[in-house]
Homo-oligomer: A and B are copies of this chain.
Amino acid sequence: MLFFCLSRLPLSFAWFLQSHRANCKSTKMAELMENEVVRAFSTYAVIVVVKMLLMGPLTSYNRFARGSFSNEEDVARKSSEEKKQLLKTHPDVERVRRCHHNDLENIIPFVIVGLLYALTGPELSVALLHFRIFAGARIFHTIAYIGALPQPSRALSWVVGMLVTFSMAYRVLNTVLFL
């Protein structure tokens, strides 16, 4: 039974790719996605959100590599002595988690403000400048955090990302203010 399922996997994957390709032609995209600024926003938003999501597996990897878990059931098959050791925090795991948390605090506001910003119809070149600087700053922030690079590398990339979001927020309020 399991073998049958597994033997179908390559087929399913082909179908999966197919279904995503075919759609591009066969169905009408929402008009919104024909706007170049919205397309640029979507591209960079997906890139930074996927980067953020990948911190999850990285945390998992570190939990196994360093032997540091936070739930009883994760170490259920171990002896009680091993359990005690495995249920401790480890600096490397905590570092990745802090980086992940910082992403939540900064990337999600960027995406929210950025979507509204894209809808205000900014010039493409100015919009691209905002999106590119933000994506670059956040990717560098992750490298600086995980690699524990000397400060102020991490602090600077954090500030740059935040300034980009503030700049877009200013434009949104300036354009659509309705209290």
Q: In the complex, which residue of chain B has the Cβ closest to the Cβ of A116?
A: B42
For A30, the closest partner residue in chain B by CB is B119
Chain B nearest CB, measured from A112 CB (Å): 5
Q: A30-B32, A49-B109, A121-B33 are in contact. Are A20 and B170 (CB under 8 A)?
A: yes
**B42 near A176: Cβ-Cβ < 8 Å:** yes
Chain B residues closer than 8 Å to A165, beta-carbon distance: 53
Give the distance to chain B from A89, nearest Cβ to Cβ, in Å.
Answer: 12
| Chain A residues close to B by CB (< 8 Å) | 16, 19-24, 26-30, 32-33, 35-36, 38-40, 42-43, 45-47, 49-50, 52-53, 55-57, 70-74, 76, 94-95, 98, 100, 104-106, 108-109, 111-113, 116, 118-123, 126, 148-151, 154, 158, 162, 165-167, 169-179
CB-based contact B126/A23 at 8 Å: yes
A175: which of B29, B104, B108 is its contact (CB, 8 Å)? B29
Is chain A's interface secondary structure helix, strand, loop, or mixed overall? helix
Across the interface, do B29 and A121 meet the contact criterion of CB distance under 8 Å? Answer: yes
What residues of chain B lie closer than 8 Å to A20, measured between beta carbons? 122, 126, 167, 170-171, 174
Chain B residues whose CB sits within 8 angstroms of the CB of A112 once the complex forms: 45, 49, 108, 111
Contacts A40-B178, A148-B72, A174-B20: A46 and B113 contacting too (C-beta < 8 A)? yes
Assess the A123–B23 pair: CB atoms within 8 A. yes
A150, B27: Cβ atoms closer than 8 Å: no
Contact B33 A120 (CB under 8 A): yes
A36 CA to B47 CA, complexed, in Å: 26
Given known contacts A16-B167, A24-B175, A73-B151, is B109 in contact with A53 (CB within 8 Å)? Answer: yes
Q: Is the CB of A123 within 8 A of B27?
A: yes
- The smallest C-beta distance from A146 to any residue of chain B, in angstroms, reads 11
